[in-house]
């Protein structure tokens, strides 16, 4: 106890591990053993981690320079199964390129989903926190049904994510510097020529340390409403996290960035009147004490951060509504913000619609700042998690 309080967290953790080996005073259960979690350890024998390096040593990168670009890490988790089977066993592999048939379902017909979640280093230096990983697992299962793919059970999914974090623990940024972003992928890896579900599927989890998503950092972002290009259509796949929802918005995003905007806000494709979401995140508006977010209706991704923010806002006494949010509602709002795993809670400084710019309240006194503080305190383990949202990995 004295040691963990006095030394720097990583060092205290390392020392605890050494003393553990000799049955020393810090040999308490769960004190930083590589695979302390029972469920994670049952899969661990699949890969022997590097012995020429201490995994307690942090990676040698400048943690202050993290943005949202790929920093390749050491290991990725891979699991395969055939079309009529279920996922049952996977393993950690060295991070690297994967081999795919040129006629794989994913390369030819875009049969794939992805997820995004984050692991935070705990303040005491020992262990990590995941935020609502079961929600990602369930969302992948739902998306897999829509995309005619088998998907891992919630347990397999969460275990794969835990193993990926532990195998790449030296890449989890120090507390306050960012997080380890986990990217689970589910893809039709088997060959097809005619349009059909692929005969084989691959589930893969890789990781990258990340800081803030937008180049603005935590400063307000500036959005433009796109009224020609649409992200989703009724009956389509806008409500699931298929890879095919993302490349189609690139054109609008590139055009917007060229004009100096941070990102694009998309409208519904039938009436071009109701707001849906931005390229990579959900949208909220605030008017007086009412916080509104567009109703999902199958064209908007049901974000896990979106859901968490709605619950936190209700706890603070705000009236929270999921409803159709029109351009007029947006123009009339006091405050606007975006939410997402990568984005967290991003304040919106302005929105431009048909050439006219509308500005919103920003700064430390805003509701979005209050919600950001509350959410990130739970995610980073700075406050007691009364909601049971975080999952510990020791």
Q: Is 252 among the residues that bind ligand COI (CB under 6 A)?
A: no
Residues 98-117 that bind ligand COI (CB under 6 A): 116
C-beta nearest to ligand COI: residue: 116
- Show the tokens assigned to 18: 């050494």
How many Cβ atoms are within 10 Å of 258's Cβ, its own excluded?
8
b/e per residue 310-345 (b: at least 16 CB within 10 A): bebbeeeebebebeebbbebbeebebbbbbbbbbbb
Which entry of 162, 241, 259, 287 is annotated as an active-site residue? 241
Helix locations, 296-366, DSSP H: 304-315, 327-332
Q: Does 341 bind ligand COI (CB under 6 A)?
A: yes
Toward ligand COI, which CB reaches closer, 25 or 69?
Answer: 69
182 forms part of the interface with ligand COI (CB under 6 A): no
Q: 232 by DSSP, 3-state: which?
A: coil
Question: CA–CA separation, 224 vs 57, rounded Å?
Answer: 43
Q: State the burial class of residue 77 (Cβ atoms within 10 Å of its Cβ: 0-12, 13-18, 19+).
A: buried
Q: Which is nearer to ligand COI, 69 or 363 (CB)?
A: 69
Residue indicated by tokens 């049955």: 23
Q: Is 88 left (phi over 0), alpha (psi -120 to 50) or beta?
A: alpha
Which value, in Å, is the radius of gyration of the alpha carbons in the chain?
Answer: 22
Query: Is the four-CA dihedral 226, 230, 234, 238 of positive or negative sign?
Result: negative
Beta bridge partners of 120: 129
Minimum distance from residue 340 beta carbon to ligand COI (Å): 4
To the nearest 10°, report the CA torsion of 131, 137, 138, 141: 160
Among residues 280, 339, 362, 390, which is the contact residue for ligand COI, using CB under 6 A? 280
Q: Quote the least distance from Cβ 183 to ligand COI, whole Å.
A: 8
Q: Does residue 162 carry a catalytic annotation?
A: no
Size of the site for ligand COI (CB under 6 A): 6
| Member of 90, 188, 209, 340 binding ligand COI (CB under 6 A) | 340
| Nearer to ligand COI (CB atom), residue 117 or residue 149 | 117
Region from 10-18, 41-49, 339-347, 377-385 binding ligand COI, contact rule CB under 6 A:
339-347
Residue 272 C-beta: closest distance to ligand COI, Å:
23
Q: Minimum distance from CB of 7 to ligand COI (Å)? A: 34
CB of 370 to ligand COI, least distance (A): 21
Q: Which of 223, 342, 367, 375 binds ligand COI (CB under 6 A)?
A: 342
Question: Smallest Cα–Cα separation from 176: which of 207, 211, 209?
Answer: 211
User: Nearest approach, Cβ of 246 to ligand COI (angstroms)?
Assistant: 6
Task: Kindly state whether residue 232 participates in binding ligand COI, applying the rule CB under 6 A.
Answer: no
The reply to whether 245 sits near ligand COI by the rule CB under 6 A is: no
Contact (Cβ atoms closer than 8 angstroms) between residue 326 and residue 348: no
Beta carbon nearer to ligand COI, 163 or 305: 305
Contacts to ligand COI from residues 32-91, by CB under 6 A: none
Q: Where do contacts with ligand COI occur on this chain (CB under 6 A)?
A: 116, 280, 340-343
Active site residues: 241
């Amino acid at each position: 106890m004295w040691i963990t309080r006095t030394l720097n967290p990583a060092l205290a953790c390392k020392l605890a591990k050494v003393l553990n080996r000799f049955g020393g005073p810090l040999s308490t259960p769960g004190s930083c053993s590589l695979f302390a979690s029972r469920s994670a350890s049952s899969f661990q024998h699949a890969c022997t981690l590097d012995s020429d390096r201490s995994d307690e040593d942090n990676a040698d990168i400048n943690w202050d320079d993290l943005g949202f670009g790929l920093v390749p890490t050491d290991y990725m988790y891979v699991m395969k199964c055939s079309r009529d089977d279920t996922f049952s066993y996977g393993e950690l592999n060295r991070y690297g390129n994967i081999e795919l048939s040129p006629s794989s379902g994913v390369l030819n017909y875009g049969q794939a989903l992805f997820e995004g979640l984050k692991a935070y280093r705990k303040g005491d230096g020992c262990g990590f926190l995941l935020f609502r990983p079961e929600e990602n697992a369930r969302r992948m299962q739902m998306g897999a049904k829509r995309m005619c793919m088998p998907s891992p059970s919630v347990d397999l999914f969460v275990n794969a994510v835990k193993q990926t974090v532990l195998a790449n623990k030296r890449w989890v940024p120090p507390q306050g510097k960012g997080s380890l972003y986990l990217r689970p992928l589910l893809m039709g890896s088997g060959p097809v020529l005619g349009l059909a579900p692929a005969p084989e599927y691959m589930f893969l989890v890789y990781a990258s340390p990340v800081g803030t998503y937008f180049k603005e950092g935590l400063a307000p972002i500036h959005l433009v409403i796109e009224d020609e290009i649409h992200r989703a259509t009724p009956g389509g796949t806008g409500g699931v996290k298929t890879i095919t929802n993302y490349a189609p918005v690139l054109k609008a995003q590139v055009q917007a960035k060229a004009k100096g905007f941070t990102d694009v806000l998309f409208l519904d494709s039938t009436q071009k009147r109701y707001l849906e979401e931005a390229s990579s995140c959900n949208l909220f508006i605030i008017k007086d004490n009412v916080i509104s977010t567009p109703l999902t209706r199958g064209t908007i991704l049901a974000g896990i951060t979106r859901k968490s923010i709605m619950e936190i806002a209700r706890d603070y006494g705000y009236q929270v509504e999921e409803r159709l949010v029109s351009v007029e509602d947006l123009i009339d709002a006091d405050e606007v913000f975006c939410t997402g795993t990568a984005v967290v809670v991003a304040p919106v400084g302005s929105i431009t619609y048909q050439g006219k710019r509308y500005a919103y309240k920003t700064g430390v006194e805003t509701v979005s700042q209050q919600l950001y503080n509350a959410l990130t305190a739970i995610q980073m383990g700075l406050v007691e998690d009364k909601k049971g949202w975080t999952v510990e990995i020791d």
